[in-house]
Amino acid sequence: MKKVEAINFLYVLVLSTTVFLIFTYKELTETKSPGGRMRLLWNWRSVQESYHLAVYPCIESFRVRAHLPVIYVVTPTYPRPTQIPELVRLAQTLMTVPNLFWIVAEDAPILNPRVASYLDGTGICHAYLAAPMPESYRGELKTPRGVSNRRAGMDWIRKHVTEGVMYFADDDNTYHLDVFEEMRWTKKVSMWPVGLVTHLGVSSPVVIDGRVIGFYDGWIEGRKFPVDMAGFAVGIPFFLSKVDAEMPYRAGFEEDGFLRSLEISVDDVEPKADNCTKIYVWHTRTQKATPAPKIATNITHFTDSNLSALEKELFLETSESAFH
Ligand code: UGA
Ligand code: MN
């Protein structure tokens, strides 16, 4: 009897050790790839906090190029038919820039799984945040577009980042790769020209002998810094030192309000792009597209065709359940 008990005990011991080893192995292999592990955690958080983070392709590459400051690109975006094409175009620029972290902030109460999965597929290290414009501004004649999104991006940076550079890149502009290398070593605030802004065709700091002495812009309107959102970058340590810096919900005055809140003078501005003689970013605007109508899949030769799959591409799914 004693012998049978001992064998049973041994049997249970071997079984539980095997189970324990399998779990530990899984845990260890996940921990070895830091991104994979973090991703699991953050996916859970995405449902809890409207927040989604994909880091694994990048942690290693940031380490390899540790001498290069990381550029944190904050992109406001919002649901509309041209959203994915805009993000594709921008992503295909950003994916070639080393040491870049993309913060995509969506003007919507919850994340869109289609956008999340597109972003994951780019391999770009990114955080995807839901940051809806407060309802009180929605009805206004001129709404402060992209402000709640940029503010959410800045909050994220304040919580998670200590080094690097911050840049606000709207989803519909055109970016030459050189603009990122120009901004990478920004100390306080760097600036450069932006093409296709107002009737003047360009908005730029005015530079004499390597110093900014004023601004050329088609819409001055009492602004101390009459510049476009795409025309400046901010050093993150400097930004963090200005604890009250914030972007106002004031259409047309977002850039000026934010730059004033950094408490800089025109003299502090670091001119880039060969003393503002080159254009590396353009304020292009995409023509609005009307939402596609439902495809009439009841028409005989449409039934069982590709069209029902295509329809899924046309309509943005927003249910949280698609995250699971
Ligand atoms: C211009 C400036 O380039 C913006 O930086 C500035 O926020 C805006 O004017 C303003 O003053 O309102 P513009 O091309 O006229 O931008 O505006 P959009 O491109 O339509 O919007 C700017 C950004 O906000 C885009 O990235 C867009 O995706 C986002 N957006 C726009 C939202 O998040 N929600 C909206 O309802 C509309
Ligand atoms: Mn735009």
Say which residue, 175 or 32, is predicted with more confidence: 175
Catalytically annotated residues = 255
Instruction: Tell me the average pLDDT across 130-144.
Output: 93
Instruction: Tell me the average pLDDT across 279-286.
Output: 98
Lowest-confidence region among 121-135, 246-260, 278-292, 298-312: 298-312
User: 93 a known binding residue?
Assistant: no
Quick one: pLDDT at residue 41?
33
Cross-strand pairs, 190: 233, 270
Nearest CA to ligand 1 atom 24: 146
Band of pLDDT at residue 15, cut at 50, 70 and 90: confident
Q: Distances in Å between the alpha carbon of 152 and those of 94, 227, 240?
A: 20, 22, 15
Band of pLDDT at residue 18, cut at 50, 70 and 90: confident
Quick one: pLDDT at residue 44?
35
Quick one: pLDDT at residue 1?
54
Quick one: pLDDT at residue 300?
84
Q: Is 191 helix (H, G, I), strand (E, B) or coil?
A: strand
Distance 230 CA to ligand 1 centre (A): 11
Say which residue, 316 or 62, is predicted with more confidence: 62
Question: Is residue 20 predicted with pLDDT exceeding 70?
Answer: no
- Percent above pLDDT 70 for the chain: 85
Burial class (CB in 10 A: 0-12, 13-18, 19+), 27: exposed
Cross-strand pairs, 74: 103, 168
Q: Does residue 193 contact residue 237 with C-beta atoms inside 8 Å?
A: no
Q: How far apart are CA 155 and CA 29, in angstroms?
A: 32
Structural domains present in the chain: 33-282 (3.90.550.10), 295-324 (no CATH)
Q: How far apart are CA 281 and CA 283, in angstroms?
A: 7
Q: Which amino acid is at 301?
A: H
Q: Given phi > 0 = left and psi -120 to 50 = alpha, else beta, which region is 40? A: alpha
Strands 165-168 and 232-235: antiparallel
- Tokens 């001992």 sit at which residue? 6
Q: How far apart are CA 280 and CA 232, in angstroms?
A: 12
Report residue 52 as tokens: 């989604």
Ligand 1 pocket, CB under 6 A: 76-78, 107, 144-146, 149, 170-172, 228-229, 251-252, 254, 283, 285
Q: Which amino acid is at 49?
A: E
For residue 51, the 8-state DSSP code is E
Quick one: pLDDT at residue 252?
97
Instruction: Tell me the average pLDDT across 132-140.
Output: 92
CB neighbour list of residue 117: distance below 8 Å, 6 or more residues apart: none
For residue 44, the 8-state DSSP code is H
Band of pLDDT at residue 315, cut at 50, 70 and 90: confident
Task: Kindly tell me the sign of the dihedral angle through the C-alpha atoms of 225, 229, 233, 235.
Answer: positive
Band of pLDDT at residue 36, cut at 50, 70 and 90: very low
What are the pLDDT digits (tens) for 188-197?
A: 999 999 999 9
Specify the pTM.
Answer: 0.85
Neighbours of ion ligand 2 (CB under 5 A): 170, 172
For residue 79, the 8-state DSSP code is -
What are the pLDDT digits (tens) for 43-63?
A: 334 433 567 777 655 777 888
Quick one: pLDDT at residue 61?
82
Quick one: pLDDT at residue 299?
83
Question: Is residue 40 predicted with pLDDT exceeding 50?
Answer: no
Report residue 206 as tokens: 């005015």
Question: Is residue 22 predicted with pLDDT exceeding 90?
Answer: no
Determine the atom of ligand 1 nearest the C-alpha atom of 144.
Answer: 12
- Tokens 């970058």 sit at which residue? 233
Residue 115: CA count within 13 A, CB half-sphere: 34
Question: Is residue 130 predicted with pLDDT exceeding 90?
Answer: yes
